[in-house]
Amino acid sequence: MSSPSPVEFTPVNVVVVTVSDTRTPETDKSGAYLVESVTAAGHHLLGKHIVKDDTYKLRALVATLIADEQVQAVLLTGGTGFTFRDNTVKAVTPLLDTLIEGFGELFRQISFTEIGCSTIQSRAFAGMANGTIVFALPGSPGACRTGWENIVSKQLDRRHKPCNFVDKLKKVE
C-alpha cells in the first residue's frame, strides 16, 4: 500500500493594507513587516496600500479587494484600537460574509502572554467574504509579528494540520 502523498505548499495571493492617518511608505514598519513575511513565506504579494483611517475610504478599498478575482487574502494592520480614529472594525465587518470569532479570541490569548491585560484594547478580527479571507491586526509591528507567526502564517499554509483556510479561498488561475 502506498503512503499518502505529502501536501504541497500552495502560494496565496495576498494584499497588505495599512490603516493610518500618519504612516508613510517610509514609516510603515507594520506593513513592511507583513510584506516581508508574506513574501518570505512564498506567497504572492499582489499589492500594498496605505489608506487613511476613514470608514468609507477603507470600506471602499477592502470591498474592491474582496471583489477582485485574484485576491485571496487581505492583511490589514491598524485601526483596531479604541480611539475615535480607529475605524477598521466599523468599516470592514459589514463586508464580511462570515466572522471568524476564534481569530480575535486566540490573538488576544497569545497577546496576553506578551503584553498582559493591555490586550483587552485590541479589536483584532478576521472573516471571510467572497472566498477572500480578511485578517485585521493592530498597527504595531509587535502585534503584526504575534498575529503572523502564531496564527496567520499557519492558516495560509495548506500543510498546517488539522485545518487551515487555503481550501476555502477562491480559486485563481
pLDDT digits (tens, 9 = 90+) for 119-143: 888 999 999 999 999 999 999 999 9
pLDDT at 30 over 90: yes
- Under DSSP, is residue 1 helix (H, G, I), strand (E, B) or coil? coil
Grid coordinates of 113: 502572554
pLDDT band at 4 (very low <50, low <70, confident <90, very high): low
Domains of the chain: 13-162 (3.40.980.10)
User: What Cα–Cα distance (Å) separates residue 64 from each residue in 58, 129, 145?
Assistant: 10, 11, 26
Q: What is the pTM of this model?
A: 0.95
- For residue 28, the SS3 value is coil
Distance from C-alpha of 173 to C-alpha of 171, rounded to nearest angstrom:
7
Q: Which residues contact 116 (CB under 8 A, 6 or more apart)?
A: none
The radius of gyration of the chain from alpha carbons, rounded to an integer in Å, stands at: 16
Q: Is 26 exposed, middle or buried (0-12, 13-18, 19+ CB in 10 A)?
A: exposed
Residue 123, C-alpha cell as written in the block: 479589536
- Give residue-wise pLDDT tens across range 62-92: 999 999 999 999 999 998 888 888 899 999 9
For residue 110, what are the contacts with CB-CB under 8 A and spacing of at least 6? 146, 150, 151
CB 44 within 8 A of CB 74: no
Amino acid 3: pLDDT: 56
Average pLDDT, the chain: 95
- Give the mean pLDDT of 153-161: 97
User: Residue 73: how many CB atoms within 10 A of its CB?
Assistant: 24
Indicate the SS3 state at residue 83: coil
* Confidence bin at 7 (pLDDT 50/70/90): confident
**What residue spans of the chain are helical by DSSP H?**
29-40, 55-67, 88-92, 101-115, 141-147, 153-155
Strands of the chain (E only): list them. 13-19, 44-51, 73-77, 98-99, 125-129, 132-137
